[in-house]
Structure 1
Amino acid sequence: MAGVIKLVNVNMSFRGRPVLHDINLEIAKGEIMVIIGPSGSGKSTLLRLIIGLLKPTSGEIWVKGQEISRASEDEMNKLRRHMGMVFQYSALFDSMTVGENVAFGLRQHTDLSEEEIARVVRRRLRMVGLAGQENVMPSELSGGMKKRVSLARAMAINPEIVLYDEPTAGLDPIMSGTIDRMITSARRLFGVTSVVVTHHMSSAFNIADRIAMIYGGRIIEIGTVDEIRQSTNPIVQQFIHGYKSSALARRRQKP
């Protein structure tokens, strides 16, 4: 397989209701692929298919040369040792400290000693600007800090692939920029392949190598940032300019 991730004629339905239709997508090693589209278009479902939390109704999903649509849970757990995911609402364990959250995957998927795990946790928290926060509880953190802990947890296992579900949702522009820089740094420093679901066009344009737009469960356009900006598809242009109009209106409303 040429791509690290490849979807071939993937369809997904929930209780007979089609959500994704004939999805064909190939993502190269080290690429940052951004998935955009309106709410309910199937973006998050696509991420959950790639990480094996859902099985497609039909089609093939290849990850690191392995076809996963029929893989067992044991096979998927082995593959997930090479994958991390940053969920939309951070999905931290409230009963665990920050350090325990970051260490969770290491304890699940590796044979590292507690001393080695502690070293990795310190390095990853330092990487996201949260050095020394190991003993803090998630309830004491802001939304942006929780996102950074979630990223540290995803990166702790040295993944080859990281999936991000709306990583900048609910964050102010400064913190959104910080998260964007962390995503691009993960590629630069570790060669990580990233799939980023977002409805924030500023983030999409900042970080993407390529952008795919899903509309009505189908990929209607895919290309580089410049190609998406210059797309002649009216739905793509409406989505881009609708975002710009909303952002401008929000700025004008500020005192």
Structure 2
Amino acid sequence: MELISVDSGNIEKEHICCAISDKKGDPCTSSKKNWMKSQFEHGLTFIKVNVRGKAFIEYIPAENAWCPIDADGYLYINCFWVSGQLKGHGYANDLLQACIDDAKRQGRKGLVILSSEKKMPFLSDAKYLKYKGFQVCDSAEPFFQLLYYPFENEALKPKFKDCCKSASIAEKGMVFYYTNQCPHTEKYVPLMAEVAKEKGQTVRLIKFESAKQAQNAPTPFTTYGFFDDGEFVTNEMFSGSKFKKYLEKKGL
């Protein structure tokens, strides 16, 4: 099995696994790759298995993570994904071990990753992570968990910032928060505004353009978060049809 590190030297020719396509000009691929390019200098690492499919791990020093956490000295895993058809080959173990080895080389305290009480879309599987030795170190409403893998027992536990603990915001109406950490947001988030407009409604789109902004977000999963009338609704990306159904249930 071969692991490939995607960096500034090969990102233009390497597929980033989770994108719909690598066609030139595709907003999904280009937005994600541009985000990655901007983060390499801040320690972003993207490692994939040399197979056709989704098997990769992406991480960054927690001080530079686009997530509202206090976890200085740790590596934060942005995304860790091995798709169904590739499971059972040991790819997840190899990718995680590569991350652990890198963290130790960097002199880090350990790893930290966002998960959930129950398996949720776009969030790493807590069951697998706990099996590998990760522990819950903090939680945030309504279901988010912060898991960590310390290299020493006395290492300070990472924690969520207060800004993301309550799953609520002061602003009323429909609000989408997002970043380009996922290749799909550049396509699907603006689509929500179009769907709302068709229904005579408006939504506010708030895009985090820097780690500092994301580190003060009202939700732990800054890649995508939808709030309605001040309450957190979901971190799962709406398709156009799903958002229409959501609006219909609201009587809109």
The structure whose RCO (Cα within 8 Å, separation 6+) is larger is 1
Please give the TM-score of this superposition, normalised by the length of structure 2: 0.29
Please give the TM-score of this superposition, normalised by the length of structure 1: 0.29
Query: As a proportion of its length, which structure holds more helix?
Result: 1
